Structure 1
Amino acid sequence: MARDLTAAETAQRSIIKKYRRVLWNPFIAAVKRYELISPGDRIAVCISGGKDSMLLAKLMQELQNHTVAPFELAFLVMDPGYRRENREQIESNAKLLDIPVTIFESDIFDVTAVVEKNPCYLCARMRRGTLYSRARELGCNKIALGHHFNDVIETTLMGLLYGSQIQAMLPKLHSKNFPGMELIRPLYCVHEEDIIAWKNYNHLEFIQCACRLTENRTVEEDGASNSKRQEMKELISRLRKINPNVEKSIFQAIHGVQLDTMVGYKAGGVLHSFLDEYEKRGQPR
């Protein structure tokens, strides 16, 4: 008589069975297309406690179990000052899903709570730096974050509409302050709606926004607060009714920017103008 599967086994199996086309395949596609993982890597999978990072942990475990190019994993949870119930839920879910997390504490929420200007920006920078530092202490050369396809699209739109810049979110980048360390985003091609479907199918409950500055705001089912990012979600939803391929179009656009049509662009922090090469382009070849 076959035994019943554990919650971890059921969640793992659903990734490669029921949700193989929409979770596993795009995850593998991103890993290969953007060359995110190399043999011998030791990767710190950074877990915030939300649906995205928890799924990322399970995908990375599955890949590690089947790859022919061995790499190591550490599952890192930073507690920046969560309320007790949020901390307990993260620990409970990690145990339920068989993710061997390493938890460490910081006072980032306390520090940013007294900052009046751009506390979210400061919090993000401090959290990123702290994760890099702890990952390096654990012998890791990469950190993996749970940013997904929709984060990429929404970030691009926010930069265009509110930041006066055409700027995308890269699938990987070198750390400027921690030489030899890289950040990778293996969920780069995975859609948020499919992550939510996986979560609901497995009857999983994750923390949403655990930030003490924003936790009292209205929260939607997918965990997005009443913010500019939520505004982008709603905008894309409206645009999708007119053009069902709008997200795909934006995603493809950031992979094929036509610099020859740009009036100006920045590279390496240096601003370039189309006038720099204008006369040269007009000369006969």
Structure 2
Amino acid sequence: MTSASLFVPQTDTTDMPADSRPAATDTTSDSAAAATELKKLQKKLRKQVSWAIRDFNMIEDGDVVMVCVSGGKDSYTLLDILLLLKRIAPINFDVVAVNLDQKQPGYPEDILPNYLNEQGIAHYILEKDTYSIVKSVVPEGKTYCSACSRLRRGSLYGFAKQIGATKIALGHHRDDILATFFLNLFHGGALKAMPPKLLSDDKQNVLIRPLAYVEEKDIIEYARLREFPIIPCNLCGSQTNLQRAIINDMLREWDGAHPQRLASIFKAIQNVAPSQLADRELFDFENLSLDRDEDERLFEGDNIQVGQSERLAQIGLPTAPQTQDYTPKFAERSTTDKAANNDSQKIPVINPVI
């Protein structure tokens, strides 16, 4: 889809007789509505991608960003938005698209290069028969995703270094990150997901996920409006009962019933409290110690019942602990103050876990 097709052609009807002017059609109306919807959605995605790039310092001046393009909706959207940002960004960076043709049976080899050439996008198409390797090493009935992904990553990471790309951009979106979080939680025994920015294990490449804040449903709609030539994955997509697919169905169900739930979960993985978990490598639980001051805080209440005084005395604990009047701070404000603030009396929230 070229940029010209995004505009609705207008016919000048000023000098036409009234009975010969073309009537407004549903097709014209639908095209105008689609163009408006696309413009609005594109602005939303541009902002979300810009925020992610800013928050994690994904792209810097002078970067060469290698966008891994598979022919799916996610990578098409990523490439499209990054090229848009390249034109308006206050810094200079270059974008190159790279696709790995894994020689899957029936793979339409011409679709992606034709699209990239029509759009004038610099690109490389790498040809490597990883399909046969995956089929040979994965037992019958097992999923191919893990082996396929490892082989693909190895090829693409090495090529990024070969051409001098400074960042590798992947098309994982917010829902992919959440699905990975739950896969690790349910099946991996680990509290981890996909980071928006990552240094590869060999420290040779920096990976970025600029769609980290973008919802999948927005990408689906954007790909539809932009009419990207989607290429399905016949290797992995043909398999049933994939755990990731099951998790994705769960997330979609949650999103339909509780629209803010996924946003809240994603916010949670950005707001980690190590002391409230149980990872002894992440937080030093063993060396926690008291650091009390000399101020004595008496129990605020009416009375303290004491049982087994002799036993308490043997332990060295007080047998007649004192009390003080209960005057909660939230009740100290005058009625006038409450009325002025139009605020009702509220009990302060404290950590319920003891």
**Where on the TM-score scale, by shorter chain, does this alignment land: which range?**
0.7 to 0.9
Paired residue secondary structure (1:87): coil
Q: Give how far 1:16 is off.
A: 7.8
The aligned counterpart of 2:222 is 198
The residue number in structure 2 matching 1:48 is 70
Q: Structure 1: 5+ residue runs without aligned partners?
A: 1-5, 218-224, 266-270
Taking the aligned partners of 1:9 and 1:38, their CA distance within structure 2 comes to 31
Q: Secondary structure at the match of 1:143?
A: strand
Which consecutive unaligned segments of at least 5 residues does structure 2 have?
Answer: 8-34, 294-354
Q: 2:181 matched to 1:156?
A: yes
Distance 1:241 1:194, change over 3 A: closer
Query: Distance between the aligned counterparts of 1:137 and 1:15, measured in 2?
Result: 40
Match of 2:212 in 1: 188
Question: Taking structure 1 as reference, are residues 29 and 10 closer, same or farther at Cα in structure 2, changes over 3 Å only?
Answer: farther
The alignment status of 1:100 with 2:108, answered yes or no, reads: no
Matching residue within 262, 266, 273 for 1:251: 266
Confirm or deny: 8 A CA contact 2:170 2:209 kept in the other structure: yes
Corresponding position of 1:233: 248
Is the Cα contact below 8 Å between 1:142 and 1:184 reproduced in 2? yes
Report the CA distance between 1:130 and its aligned residue.
Answer: 0.9
CA contact (8 A) 2:96 2:121 kept: no
> Do the aligned residues in 1 keep the contact of 2:38 with 2:225 (CA within 8 Å)?
no
- Percent identity of equivalent pairs: 27
Of residues 233, 245, 256 in structure 2, which corresponds to 1:209? 233
1:122 Cα shift?
2.4
The correspondence for 2:51, drawn from 29, 48, 52, is: 29
How far apart are 1:274 and its partner, in Å? 5.6
TM-score, scaled relative to structure 1: 0.83
Alignment match of 2:201 (pick from 172, 176, 184): 176
Contact map agreement 2:274 2:282 (CA 8 A) in 1:
no
Aligned to 2:93, which of 71, 84, 95? 71
Report if aligned partners of 2:96, 2:123 keep a CA contact under 8 Å in 1: yes
Residue identity opposite 1:60 in structure 2: L
Residue-pair matches, total:
263
TM-score w.r.t. length of structure 2: 0.68
Structure 1 position 273, deviation (Å): 6.6
Identify the residue that residue 62 of structure 1 maps to in structure 2: 84
| Greater C-alpha radius of gyration | 2
2:18 aligned partner = none
Give the alignment's Cα RMSD to 1 decimal: 2.5
Identify the structure with bigger relative contact order (alpha carbons < 8 Å, sequence gap 6+). 1
Q: Using the alignment, how far apart are the partners of 1:228 and 1:242 within structure 2?
A: 21
Question: Which letter maps to 1:7?
Answer: T
